C-alpha cells in the first residue's frame, strides 16, 4: 500500500472456552528473521501435552517445521530448537 509492505510478525493465542471469557493460558508467537519463537507462555493452571500439540499444530499450519523456545535452568537461559513433523497430504 503506497510503498508500504506489511507483514504479521507477532500473534497471541489465548486458551478460553468462549471468546470474551477469561483465558487460562496465553502464548505469544513472534517471527524474527524467518524463525518462529514461542515466547511469554503463561498459564494459571496446568499446561498439558494437548495444549502443546495445539500450539505446534498451529505453527505447522503456518508452514514452519520448527520453532524456538527457551527456559531458565540454574540461572542460565537455555535456547531450544523444537523440530516439527509436517503433515503430508
**Residue 66 φ then ψ, to 5°:** -160, 165
| pLDDT band at residue 89 under the 50/70/90 scheme | low
Number of H helices, E strands in the chain: 1, 5
Q: Cα separation of 34 and 72, whole Å?
A: 24
Its sign, for the CA torsion 9, 14, 18, 22, is negative
- Residues facing residue 37 across a β-bridge: 30, 68
31-82 pLDDT, tens digit each: 999 999 999 899 988 788 999 999 999 999 999 999 999 999 999 999 999 9
pTM for this entry:
0.83
Amino acid at each position: 500500500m503506497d510503498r508500504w509492505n506489511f507483514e504479521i510478525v507477532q500473534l497471541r493465542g489465548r486458551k478460553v472456552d468462549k471468546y470474551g471469557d477469561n483465558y487460562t493460558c496465553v502464548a505469544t508467537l513472534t517471527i524474527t528473521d524467518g524463525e518462529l519463537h514461542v515466547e511469554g507462555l503463561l498459564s494459571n493452571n496446568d499446561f498439558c501435552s494437548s495444549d502443546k500439540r495445539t500450539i505446534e499444530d498451529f505453527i505447522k499450519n503456518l508452514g514452519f517445521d520448527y520453532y524456538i523456545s527457551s527456559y531458565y535452568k540454574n540461572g542460565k537461559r537455555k535456547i531450544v530448537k523444537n523440530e516439527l513433523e509436517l503433515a503430508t497430504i
